[in-house]
Amino acid sequence: MVKEIQKIMEDFHVKDANMTADERNIVTLSGVCDSWQTLIDVGHAVAKVDGVKNVVSDMEVEGLTIPKKNYEPYIKKGKEIGVIDRADVVIIGAGVSGCGIARELSRYNLKIIVVEMGDDVAYAASKANNGDIHAGHAAKSGTLKAKLNVEGNRMYTQWSEELGFRLERCGSLQMVTEDRLVPSVEKTYETALKNGVDGARMVTQEEAIQIEPRVEAELKRMGKELKAALWLPSMGVVEPYEVVVALAENAAKNGVQFLFDCTVGDVLHEDGQVKGVVTEKGIIEADFVINCAGVYADEMSWMAGDRSYTIHPRKGTIAIIDKTCPPLFSVLGGITTHEPTMKKNVESKGGGMCFTPEHNILLGPSATEVPDKEDVDTTPEDLAYAMSRNSNEQIGIGNIIRIFAGTRPADFKEDFIIEMSPITHGFMNVGAIQSPGLASAPAVAKMAIGILLDDMEKNGKRPEEKPDYDPIQPPKLDFRHMTHEEQDALIKKDPRYGKIICRCEQITEGEILDAVHSLVVPTSIDAIKRRTRAGMGRCQGGFCQPRVLELLARELGEDWVNITLKGRGSNVLICPNRENAEEGGSRS
């Protein structure tokens, strides 16, 4: 193994190359690479060597300063404040993994605290994805990722029924019209069978038309016939932030506490046992710490004394298309007539053309390796990649209403890491949860909790289930989807539902107030957007943002200048300039 790794580093011309391996076969690499992509390629190549459990990178890049987060201010502040609480379990991160685990764990008699560095749930990767509930056909066979993808997909129906979020089981129909494209469809089908994807089957053109009647007209328009088609009926779509908000609110309903703007600066451990976390809001003592910190999961693990993997952020950019350009089909997938003009990252699924439950078309995501974990800037190159996934010739750049990006927490093994640390007992890694992490989330939570409960039981501390645990979270009120009769009745009951705040999406004042007064309180404009869709339409908040700001300030008892777009450092207003603003004027 050592000679093979040394040969890899030599082939990639890594200067001052060095490697070490511990008793777990965690390989730590150091040296200087000529580019960031070379560093990534070296890590992947070493991770594929037989016997290597995972890779820690201490490598550098010539001429590049790799950004590193400074935790000292958070540690200093937290220690000055001192101990603020004690919990049975602290969960780091309020994304879909953290909130999923918190909700499922809230059925037990445990004190659970979720700490999140952002101002809201779904602050990072959990909001910045396309919402696909993947069937499991694109995950590498034999990986934990593939196993949990298929299991999680099956569990989503129960989650959606209990938690009241929208799940559209639209299925995916992958169709090709050229012989040279048939092998790729057949390969996907073979992977689907190996992974146990429910209902996956190759279908004829006639069967494809029965599944999606609009295929017939589109083929006629194109003057083509199908050469192959793969039907994946379990594929679905959700609004990812709806899922996370529902999980968090149900967790809170069952006693889980959330702390936002609460960065973890250190993980306390002593004699091989976790003791708690130091946060910027103080120290929280705990028997168990579950690490769901996304792109920072490796750093949390290192704080706990377990250097076992490195997260290298992979940025994905997605373009959102206006609703005036509806999807061609009611299923995901589509008709492919040629190879995409831009090649995909070999470690990603490649992105594509899909749609949301609201039927906005999404193009992308791209998959660009970046050194900065907080790099969510969009670039012309990433936008070009997203647009290259467009299979509808009626859609162009002019139909885009927003472009956004997020970073996936990839490790060099390109698989999920879910395990109790063998180095620091009580510290559990739930790391490297990249795509299909959203689809896998129910199974990720089940596996993590199983590990935790087994550990507790071995130590005679298995908790009892709560007799009053309530898994049900009522669906959110959607004024725009009501009949006129239902709307009239609601307005008579509460006139605030008759005041439209967001014209594009038809979101009312009543819906925004419902969100503000929910169990997990949104305090920023973007947090309101994720809960209500106010600001998600064509004008992207151009009309409604000032009204949302005003409502937030009023309901939270804050001055207008304290309301932010997306958490600290993003204040919308600088200072008051009109004395009568709060009496009906305006501030800027």
Catalytic residues: 134
Amino acid 190 reads E
What are the distances in angstroms from CA 133 to CA 215, 358, 411, 471?
Answer: 23, 15, 22, 21
Instruction: Give the residue from 214, 237, 222, 211 showing the smallest Cα distance to 329.
Output: 214
CB atoms under 10 Å from CB of 569, counted, come to: 7
Long-range CB pairs of 450-458, under 8 A, 24+ apart, other chains included: 451/418, 451/419, 451/420, 452/89, 452/105, 452/288, 452/290, 452/420, 452/428, 453/108, 455/420, 455/425
Amino acid 489 reads A
Backbone angles phi, psi at 344, to 5 degrees: -85, 160
Whether the CB-CB separation of 336 and 329 falls below 8 Å is answered with no
Instruction: Provide the b/e sequence for 9-25 (b: ≥16 CB within 10 Å).
Output: beebebeebebeeeeee
CB atoms under 10 Å from CB of 370, counted, come to: 19
User: DSSP labels for 151-165?
Assistant: HHHHHHHHHHHHH--
Classified as helix, coil or strand, 362 is strand
Whether the CB-CB separation of 93 and 291 falls below 8 Å is answered with yes
Whether the CB-CB separation of 385 and 342 falls below 8 Å is answered with yes
CA 541, 543, 544, 545 dihedral sign is positive
Cα separation, 381 vs 388, in Å, equals 11
